[in-house]
Amino acid sequence: MQLSDSWSPSDPIVSIKNVHKSFGALEVLKGISMDIMKGEVICIIGPSGSGKSTLIRCINALNDIQSGSITVEGQEVHDPALDKLLLRKKVGMVFQQYNLFPHKTALENVMMAPLLVLKEDEDEVEARARKLIKKVKLEGKEDNYPGELSGGQQQRVAIARSLAMQPDVMLFDEVTAALDPETVKEVLVTIKELAADGMTCILVTHEMGFAKEVADHIYFTDRGVIVEHGSPDVFFDNAKDPRTQEFLSQIL
């Protein structure tokens, strides 16, 4: 089932056109446009406060927009008539602070949404959840509570939890920013495998090495606009805009 009948897989799965977003008088997105094809991995980078996180939160309608258009599988996200729940079944999201449910075990965290939201059969969901936990290499941790897991482990449970809804697009909002350096890698490996499986991924990240290696396309945003974008090779080696050059020189 797809969100809109007029959409075909050769069209962009996520299409953002001239999006403006303000918090009161503060305009954080000033006309952002990008197209993301099915199976692509997109990294959005830029200094803090540049509107990256706000942008991806607009894609699953956690934030609303003032003007412009965002479509997912051809369906306008900010159409007031749209059932937001329908959209969020298609678009999974992983947060910086994992946000696991602390009163549920790892397995229960993964199973909750399919059971309650999709109302799927419990045995099926459990089988799928166990497979996903295996996929994020947390076998044996099924019955642990989030408080008993490391940050990296919690974040991988959070990824499995999102995948359990079988979304078509995954959003990652600085998912490694809160992690210890040694656990960052395990989370990045998980995302890399996900990308290799053909999942459409939109990441906001500060991990330049990862972006270079995995991304199909890189967007650099600053103060609410896309300053520069391109494939990783072109972007990292031949940045044209002085703002991009300055940012890269600071971070690399």
Partner 1 sequence: MKRLNSNQNHGKLPVLLSVKGNGSHAYNSMTMVNWLASMPWWTPVLLMTALILWPHVAWAGSNYTAGDALDALWRWAPFLIKSGFLFNILISFLVLAVGTVGGVLLGLGQISLSKPVRAVSWFITQLFRNSPWLVILFVVMLLVPYEIKLFGYNFFFPDWMKAVFGLSLPIIANISEIVRGAVQSVPNTQWEAAEAMAFTRNQTLWKIILPQCFKRMIPPWMNWYAILTMATPLISILGVEEIVNLSRQAIEAEDNHPELLIPFYSFVLILFFAYCYPIARLTVRLERKFAVKL
Minimum separation from the CB atom of position 135 to partner 1 (A): 18
Q: Which is nearer to partner 1, 136 or 227 (CB)?
A: 136
Q: Which is nearer to partner 1, 112 or 225 (CB)?
A: 112
Q: Measured between alpha carbons, how far apart are the two ends of the chain, in Å?
A: 43
DSSP count for the chain of H helices, then E strands? 9, 10
Q: Residue 140 — φ and ψ, nearest 5°? A: 90, -15
Instruction: Decide if 170 contacts 198 (C-beta within 8 A).
Output: no
Burial status of residue 192 (CB atoms within 10 A of its CB: 0-12, 13-18, 19 or more): middle
Q: Which is nearer to partner 1, 126 or 216 (CB)?
A: 126
Minimum separation from the CB atom of position 90 to partner 1 (A): 9
State how far the Cα of 215 lies from the Cα of 231, in Å rounded to an integer.
8
Residues 6+ apart with CB under 8 A from 210: 43, 188, 191, 192
Order of strands, sheet of 26-36, starting from the edge strand that comes earlier in the sequence: 26-36, 14-23, 67-72, 75-76
How many other CB atoms sit within 10 Å of the CB of residue 162? 22
Q: Which is nearer to partner 1, 63 or 183 (CB)?
A: 63
Minimum separation from the CB atom of position 93 to partner 1 (A): 4
Q: Which is nearer to partner 1, 22 or 99 (CB)?
A: 99
Minimum separation from the CB atom of position 113 to partner 1 (A): 4
What does the binding site for partner 1 look like in residue numbers (CB under 8 A)?
Answer: 60, 62, 84-86, 88-89, 92-93, 95, 97, 99-103, 112-113, 116-117, 161-162, 165
Minimum separation from the CB atom of position 158 to partner 1 (A): 8
Minimum separation from the CB atom of position 118 to partner 1 (A): 8
Residues 6+ apart with CB under 8 A from 241: 220, 227, 228
Q: Which residues pair with 192 in a beta bridge?
A: none
Q: Which is nearer to partner 1, 51 or 167 (CB)?
A: 167
State how far the Cα of 182 lies from the Cα of 124, in Å rounded to an integer.
34
Q: Which is nearer to partner 1, 133 or 227 (CB)?
A: 133
Minimum separation from the CB atom of position 163 to partner 1 (A): 11
